A = this chain, B = another copy of it.
Amino acid sequence: MTDDRIRARYLIETPVGLERAATSMAGEQSTGTFIALPGETPELHRRHAAHVESIELHETGVDASLSGSRGPGPVERGEVVLSFPLENVGTALPNLLATVAGNLFELQQLSGIRLIDLELPAEFGAAHPGSQFGVDGTREIAGVPTGPIVGTIVKPSVGLTPTQTGALAEELALAGLDFIKDDELMADSPHSPFEERLDAVLRGLDRAAEQTGRRPLYAVNVSGEIDDMRRRADLVASRGGNCIMVSVNAVGIAGLRDLRLHSSLPIHAHRNGWGALTRFPQLGYSYQVWQQLWRLAGADHLHVNGLRNKFWEPDDSVIASARAVLQPMNGGPAAMPVFSSAQSAEQAADTYAAIGTADLMYVCGGGIMAHPDGVAAGVASIRQAWEAALEGTDLDEYAATHPELDAALRTFRGALSS
Q: Which residues of A contact B (CB under 8 A)?
A: 29-40, 44-45, 47-48, 65-70, 86-90, 92-95, 97-99, 101-108, 110, 113, 155-160, 164, 168, 184-185, 187-191, 223-229, 247, 249-258, 270, 272-277, 279-285, 305, 309-314, 342, 365-366, 369-370, 412, 415-417
Q: A110 to chain B: which residues have CB within 8 Å?
A: 312
Q: When the two chains form their complex, are residues B191 and A48 in contact, meaning their CB atoms are under 8 A apart?
A: yes
| Chain B residue nearest in CB terms to A412 | B35
Instruction: Using known A-B contacts A105-B274, A370-B38, determine if residue A314 contacts B189 with beta carbons closer than 8 Å.
Output: no
Q: A31 to chain B: which residues have CB within 8 Å?
A: 156-159
CB distance from A98 to the nearest CB of B (A): 5
- Most chain B CB inside 10 Å of its own CB: which residue of A104, A106, A184, A370: A106
Q: How far is the CA of A311 from the CA of B111 in the complex (A)?
A: 11
Q: When the two chains form their complex, are residues B224 and A155 in contact, meaning their CB atoms are under 8 A apart?
A: no
| Chain B residue nearest in CB terms to A104 | B275
Q: A45 to chain B: which residues have CB within 8 Å?
A: 159
Q: How far is the CA of A45 from the CA of B274 in the complex (A)?
A: 27
CB distance from A302 to the nearest CB of B (A): 15
Q: A282 to chain B: which residues have CB within 8 Å?
A: 280
Can you identify 6 A-B contacts, CB atoms within 8 angstroms?
Answer: A88-B159, A98-B273, A102-B184, A229-B254, A251-B252, A252-B254
Question: Which one, B86, B99, B365, contacts A185 given CB within 8 A?
Answer: B99
- Most chain B CB inside 10 Å of its own CB: which residue of A30, A69, A99, A275: A275
Question: Which one, B38, B108, B157, B417, contacts A311 given CB within 8 A?
Answer: B108
Q: How far is the CA of A152 from the CA of B348 in the complex (A)?
A: 58
| Chain B residue nearest in CB terms to A254 | B255
Q: A228 to chain B: which residues have CB within 8 Å?
A: 92
Q: A35 to chain B: which residues have CB within 8 Å?
A: 366, 370, 412, 415
Q: When the two chains form their complex, are residues A226 and B255 in contact, meaning their CB atoms are under 8 A apart?
A: yes
Instruction: Using known A-B contacts A48-B191, A69-B312, A86-B190, determine if residue A275 contacts B92 with beta carbons closer than 8 Å.
Output: no
Q: When the two chains form their complex, are residues A310 and B34 in contact, meaning their CB atoms are under 8 A apart?
A: yes
CB distance from A291 to the nearest CB of B (A): 16
Q: How far is the CA of A106 from the CA of B279 in the complex (A)?
A: 7
Q: When the two chains form their complex, are residues A284 and B273 in contact, meaning their CB atoms are under 8 A apart?
A: no
| Chain B residue nearest in CB terms to A107 | B311
Q: A38 to chain B: which residues have CB within 8 Å?
A: 369-370
Q: How far is the CA of A65 from the CA of B98 in the complex (A)?
A: 28
Q: A158 to chain B: which residues have CB within 8 Å?
A: 30-31, 48, 88
Question: Which one, B87, B155, B156, B189, contacts A89 given CB within 8 A?
Answer: B189
Q: How far is the CA of A225 from the CA of B257 in the complex (A)?
A: 8
Q: When the two chains form their complex, are residues B90 and A37 in contact, meaning their CB atoms are under 8 A apart?
A: no
Q: When the two chains form their complex, are residues A157 and B30 in contact, meaning their CB atoms are under 8 A apart?
A: yes
CB distance from A96 to the nearest CB of B (A): 8
CB distance from A247 to the nearest CB of B (A): 5
CB distance from A77 to the nearest CB of B (A): 16
Question: Which one, B33, B256, B257, contacts A157 given CB within 8 A?
Answer: B33
Q: When the two chains form their complex, are residues B189 and A34 in contact, meaning their CB atoms are under 8 A apart?
A: no
| Chain B residue nearest in CB terms to A154 | B39
Q: When the two chains form their complex, are residues A275 and B98 in contact, meaning their CB atoms are under 8 A apart?
A: no
Q: How far is the CA of A381 from the CA of B159 in the complex (A)?
A: 61
Question: Which one, B90, B97, B108, B275, contacts A103 given CB within 8 A?
Answer: B275
- Most chain B CB inside 10 Å of its own CB: which residue of A35, A168, A247, A415: A35
